[in-house]
Structure 1
Amino acid sequence: MITLLAERELVVSAAQLERWRRAGLLPRHRRRWLGRGQGSAAVLEAMTVEIAASLARHARQGRDLRWTVLGWYTEAGRPPLPGHAAVPAPPWTAVREALLWAMAASPAHRLLVQARAARGEAAQDAVYTAADRLLAHAPGDGPHPNRVRQMLLAGGEEPCWRGPGRRPVAQLAVAAGMGADELAASLLTGSLAATGMLAPGGGQALSERLEQAEKDGTLLPWLAQLVDGYDPLAALAAATEQEMARAREAALTLAGFGGLYVMHGLLMPDTPALAALRDAIDQAGGGPLLRNALAAMTHPQYVATMLSSCLTPAVAAFGDYLGQALAGHPQGLFYRPEQPHDRDQYMNEWIAAMRAATYHGA
């Protein structure tokens, strides 16, 4: 096993392998009997090697094994690369335990619990103090990919989005615990959109829906209804293995669309299908959600929060909504009428554009 993993540039020790076996994550070797009086031999099965490889990819020295399980669970939901074997899923009991542990330990959930228990002015002040601490180093939503692209082409520098910050969930925790009117409507709508609770759909721009609700005087009651009973830990606890698998598929789909959206800012060559996809995302106001999904599904510490959002049918359906935007482009995402579909040529053009932008910026 150690030799096979080393061939993939994955370094593990015998102690690690035994630790994973004791935790019920790595199957023990099947024994094959050699015949009367000859004893038995251990059989190293291909599935066991793939499990060990995934564990090795996500394990870190000093990292709680439950984070490793969440990284493995995310990887198991992705389709295998050509020429590679599929990654088997972790045991459901280990996944469920890891999800509930990660959510319960998250600062945003602890803030939600504190906000719901706050009684009196002193306790509420303590909630705001805790929220300020949580937000102190939380990045906000980054610049639009069009702006990043323009800055790179002009040779300037643009601070790129740094990942799923705690700002949206922290603001949502305060509103859910102390009432929607504790936050300005603009802050609350931004938090709901970034966490997926205002998942766009139906082709109507999110901004239009919010503007109309504000005119009708129904905005705050509507927002209050959305956050009332907000409890991602309870949602995870109630989810079945099948429901969680569907949520994982939805989250990975959104992350994939988020990657295409963000890569436009990094000079990805444009095509009609990619332009149509960005238009659909911008019209629906889904950019923050997709960028959150992209980073969350590559960082185990954010997976539980993202999956709890994707248990909501409206969030899961957003991927289908974006897929419909591509229905008019059956040739594919990377096809341009003036240039036959050639993946190698496309990638070479992208690399050349990045090199030119780097040189210009220097």
Structure 2
Amino acid sequence: MVRKQPSPADTALLAAAGERGATATVTQLERWRTAGLLVRNNQHGAGQGRGSVSTTPAGAVDLVVWLSAHARPGRRPDDLALEAFGAGLPTPEPTVRRAWLTAATDFRQNALLGPDETGDRSTWIGDVADELAGKHSGKSVLLPRRLRDVDARIAAAGISFAMPELAAFDKGPTETEPFTTRDFLTTAVSAVLGGTTAFVDADLAAVSRALAPPGAAVPVASMLEYPDGGPALADINDGHGLNLLPAGDVRDELARLVTEASLTQLRAAWQAVDVMHRWAVSLCDTVEAELDAIAAGEPSPDYPGLLQWFYGVAFGLNRLLLRQALLEPAPSGKAQASTAVMLLFLATGMSRLRVMVPDGQFELLPVLLPPFVYQLAELVAADLPASLRRDDLA
């Protein structure tokens, strides 16, 4: 079969990539374009009836060099698209958004879900949650070892997780039954598939207490268990149909988030996952160094690592992020995108909360939140998604 000769633009593209060590071929270029990984050349008239000429899109050489190094047999286009996008390369936007949507909405155990139910889904959600939790509770841990080891060292140093400053804001748990890894997985799956229709604030309180060290004071759990007349999380809304938390399948909400987010926000969320892993390791290193100093009798005016550690215990979110980062230190591209969407969901939720509770003490967020979460929330607030960008909410 006679092959079509490469265009001058492709010849120049391959030559430029070859100068940087790439070994791409014309066949590979076409394969990547067919998979949506590489934009086709720009076509424009040559003028004076001389036909058309093609030119290489900006950044194509960088992308071809990257694909030459990373596109191996068996690697899925969506995975390559996510990683190339995360590396800042000009990956075609339709492919990028398709890959993000897949990562956001595909359950990792989708094959076990069976047909999705319509109408009243409560029984189906419960059955799916029980099945998945039963299959995976023996393969998962509630808290990673390093986190548990640091907790144990803090307790051994004589530092109480129920210090008076925290205990004053915790009325104690409403449940006495131990919360297991299976319970955690069941709650997580139910929350994803059913939103606020599948859990109550007490379920979130149980998760917060389960993630905390034994005997710890957890004010955020107490606030959920004893709302003192305040609205439940499911009831916080703006009066115009916008709720703080989704009432149905959270995957629908995540798909909407990905669709509405700018590419800048998606890339920032991807990068935030990398920062989250470095933050988790750095926090553990810092706390361990501070405990070493305490054991050696070295005085210090403050202990910033321990302070952040206790913020996580008291308010839950930092602890959850620390757990996620330590359990999955080297995520796949799809897993990283899934975690990035979770961070984007949190950041967007904070923007919603600013709209719904305008008199909240949001000036405390830079102190209480890890920097990567706060910075992502500020980025979302600066360019609100369409669902929040309404004149009546200004």
TM range, normalised to the smaller chain? 0.5 to 0.7
Aligned to 2:189: 173
Equivalent-residue separation in structure 2 for 1:251 and 1:320 (angstroms): 21
User: Is 2:223 the partner of 1:212?
Assistant: yes
What SS does the corresponding residue of 1:129 show, helix, strand or coil? helix
Question: 1:167 Cα deviation (Å)?
Answer: 9.4
Aligned to 1:130: 132
Question: 1:65 Cα deviation (Å)?
Answer: 0.6
What SS does the corresponding residue of 1:15 show, helix, strand or coil? helix
Equivalent-residue separation in structure 2 for 1:183 and 1:108 (angstroms): 26
Aligned to 2:265: 246
Is there any run of 5+ residues in structure 2 with no aligned partner, and where?
A: 1-12, 154-180, 237-244, 291-299, 352-361, 372-394
Question: 1:70 Cα deviation (Å)?
Answer: 1.5
Alignment map for 1:1-362 (pairs within 5 Å): 12=24, 14-28=26-40, 47-56=59-68, 58-76=70-88, 87-88=89-90, 90-107=91-108, 111=113, 114=116, 124-125=126-127, 127-144=129-146, 147=149, 171-175=187-191, 176-177=193-194, 179-180=198-199, 184-189=203-208, 207-216=218-227, 221-222=232-233, 226=245, 228-237=247-256, 239-240=258-259, 242-243=261-262, 245-253=264-272, 255-265=274-284, 276=304, 279-280=307-308, 282-284=310-312, 285=316, 286-290=318-322, 292=324, 295=328, 298-309=331-342, 310-313=344-347, 321=366
Cα distance change of structure 1 residues 16 and 321 upon mapping to structure 2, 3 Å threshold: farther
What SS does the corresponding residue of 1:107 show, helix, strand or coil? coil
* Aligned residues with identical type, % of pairs: 20
CA RMSD in angstroms, aligned pairs only: 5.5
Give the letter aligned to residue 91 of structure 1: P
Question: 1:21 Cα deviation (Å)?
Answer: 1.9
Cα distance change of structure 1 residues 139 and 174 upon mapping to structure 2, 3 Å threshold: same
Cα distance change of structure 1 residues 313 and 263 upon mapping to structure 2, 3 Å threshold: closer
Question: 1:13 Cα deviation (Å)?
Answer: 5.1
Question: 1:170 Cα deviation (Å)?
Answer: 6.1
Preserved CA contact (<8 Å) 1:251 1:307: yes
Preserved CA contact (<8 Å) 1:264 1:270: no
Preserved CA contact (<8 Å) 1:10 1:56: yes
Equivalent-residue separation in structure 1 for 2:264 and 2:209 (angstroms): 27
What SS does the corresponding residue of 1:180 show, helix, strand or coil? coil
Give the letter aligned to residue 101 of structure 2: L
Structure possessing the higher relative contact order (Cα contacts under 8 Å, 6 or more residues apart): 1
Cα distance change of structure 1 residues 12 and 288 upon mapping to structure 2, 3 Å threshold: farther
What do the CA deviations read for 1:175-220 (whole angstroms, capped 9, x no partner)? 45372159955554479x99xxxxxxxxxx9931222332447799
Length-normalised TM-score, structure 1: 0.56
Question: 1:62 Cα deviation (Å)?
Answer: 1.4
Give the letter aligned to residue 255 of structure 2: L
Equivalent-residue separation in structure 1 for 2:202 and 2:78 (angstroms): 34
Length-normalised TM-score, structure 2: 0.52
Cα distance change of structure 1 residues 242 and 100 upon mapping to structure 2, 3 Å threshold: closer
Q: How many residues align?
A: 290
More deviation, 210-219/94-103: 210-219
Q: Which has the larger radius of gyration?
A: 2
Cα distance change of structure 1 residues 312 and 182 upon mapping to structure 2, 3 Å threshold: closer
Give the letter aligned to residue 289 of structure 1: L
Cα distance change of structure 1 residues 112 and 34 upon mapping to structure 2, 3 Å threshold: closer
Give the letter aligned to residue 237 of structure 1: R
What SS does the corresponding residue of 2:59 show, helix, strand or coil? helix
Preserved CA contact (<8 Å) 1:31 1:43: yes
